[in-house]
């Protein structure tokens, strides 16, 4: 999706840490539900996105599993609790895809596209050309570019201005508001 095209995706790919929940301090990971904290307005933003109709697919790198800081069961418990909390607010995720590998070990760790390719195979109706990726990192935006999807960056302080994205926003709520704008002809 170019800057001038309407941003009405049929699939919204969302990053997790730093997009939906507060990220862990550098070098650390969200290892349990007790460490998970939704960012302000994130559940409401996902509920609003749900009401707009696109499939919502979570795609997340979780290197902490590869490093032995948490298990895949810990990660599943976090995602189960997160999904329950989101449903209670009217938000629905179509699927969750996670990469538990270390850097260079796979084709699924963003910015590689394996998680997205898997979603396209397993989630009916995923069309990358009609998708948007919302995330807070260069790797999220690079993956979006590789699959030909729209790119909305939740910009952090000091984010490199040369990062090529369709839109920069300050929160998931602001990103969803963009998608809810009337389509212009």
Catalytic residues: 15, 17
60 closest CA partner among 45, 70, 48, 49: 70
Q: C-alpha dihedral over 19, 72, 76, 139, to 10 degrees? A: 20
- Pair 33, 78: CB distance under 8 Å: yes
Helix (H, G, I), strand (E, B) or coil at 122: helix
132: CB partners within 8 A, 6+ apart: 1, 7, 9, 11, 12, 13, 54, 144, 149, 150, 151, 152, 179
Establish whether the linkage from the previous residue to 8 is cis, with ω within 30° of 0: no
């Amino acid at each position: 999706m170019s800057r001038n095209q309407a941003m009405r995706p049929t699939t919204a790919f969302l990053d997790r840490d730093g997009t939906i929940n507060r990220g862990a301090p550098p070098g650390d990971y969200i290892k349990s539900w007790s460490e998970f904290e939704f960012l302000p307005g994130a559940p409401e933003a996902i509920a609003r996105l749900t009401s707009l109709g696109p499939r919502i697919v979570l795609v997340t790198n979780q290197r902490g599993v590869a490093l032995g800081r948490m298990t895949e069961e810990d990660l599943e418990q976090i995602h189960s609790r997160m999904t329950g909390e989101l449903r209670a607010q009217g938000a629905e995720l179509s699927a969750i895809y996670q990469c538990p590998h270390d850097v260079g070990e796979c084709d699924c760790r963003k910015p590689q596209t394996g998680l997205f390719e898997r979603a396209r195979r397993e989630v009916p109706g995923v069309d990358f050309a009609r998708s948007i990726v919302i995330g807070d990192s260069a790797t999220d935006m690079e993956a979006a570019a590789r699959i030909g999807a729209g790119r909305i960056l939740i910009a952090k302080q000091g984010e490199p201005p040369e990062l090529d994205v369709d839109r920069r926003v300050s929160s998931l709520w602001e990103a969803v508001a963009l998608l809810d704008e009337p389509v212009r002809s």
